[in-house]
Amino acid sequence: MHNPYAAPQAGLDLPFAPATEARLLCWNERIGRVRFLAYSLLGIPLAILFGVLTGIVIGVFGWQAYFSSGRAQALGAVVLMIPLLVLAAAARRRVHDVDLSSWWVLVLLFPILQFIFLVYLMVARGTPAANRFGVPPPPPGFGLKLGVVIGCALPFGFIALRFL
C-alpha cells in the first residue's frame, strides 16, 4: 500500500564529472604537484604587482604624507598577505588530492611545521582514483611545466644579477 506521508526514496549517488582541465580560481577541486608549485609561485608576482601599483597610486595622488611609517607598515603587511592567501588556497586543493581534510592547511601557521608540510605536499602522490573530494586532476600540460621551470629559475637569475 502506498503511504503519501512517507519520506521520498531517492538515490543520492552523484557521479563526479571527469576532470578535463583545472581551473585557477576554484576552491574545491584537486590539483597535482606541478600545478601546486605553479600556483604557489603565482603569489609572488601578484604581491610584486600589487606593491608596484600601490606605489604608483601613492606617488601620483601625492599621498606620501598620508602614509606615514605606521600606515606604510600596515600596507606592507597587506601586500605580504597576497602570497600567503594564494598559497593557502593552493594548499587546500593539494591536501584534497592527498585525501586529507582542509583543516591540515592550518599547519601553515606554524613556521617550522610549515616547511615540512610544504615539502610533503611537493613529494606526496595524490590519490590515483576518485576520492571524497573529486576525480584526479588532469595531467599538467607543457605550458604549466614551462611556467614552473621559469618560476623556479627566476630567483637564481636575480641572484646572478646581484653578482654582476
Q: Please indicate, yes or no, if residue 6 is contained in any of the structural domains.
A: no
The rounded radius of gyration (Å) of the Cα atoms in the chain is: 22
pLDDT over 80 (residue 154)? no
Provide the domain count of the chain.
Answer: 1
pLDDT over 70 (residue 69)? no
Rounded Cα distance, 53 and 47, in Å: 10
142-162 and 33-61 helices, crossing angle to 10°: 60
Q: Please indicate, yes or no, if residue 16 is contained in any of the structural domains.
A: no
Cα–Cα nearest to 42, from 106, 102, 85, 94: 85
Number of other residues whose CB lies within 10 A of the CB of residue 48: 13
Rounded Cα distance, 121 and 118, in Å: 5
**Partners of 134 in the beta sheet?**
131
Q: Please indicate, yes or no, if residue 17 is contained in any of the structural domains.
A: no
Predicted pLDDT of residue 79: 74
The tens digit of pLDDT for each residue in 72-105 reads 677 777 777 777 788 888 899 999 999 999 899 9
Q: Please indicate, yes or no, if residue 3 is contained in any of the structural domains.
A: no
Residue ranges making up the domain that contains 158: 33-162
Most confident of 17-26, 55-64, 121-130, 141-150: 121-130
Q: Please indicate, yes or no, if residue 86 is contained in any of the structural domains.
A: yes
Q: What is the pTM of this model?
A: 0.70
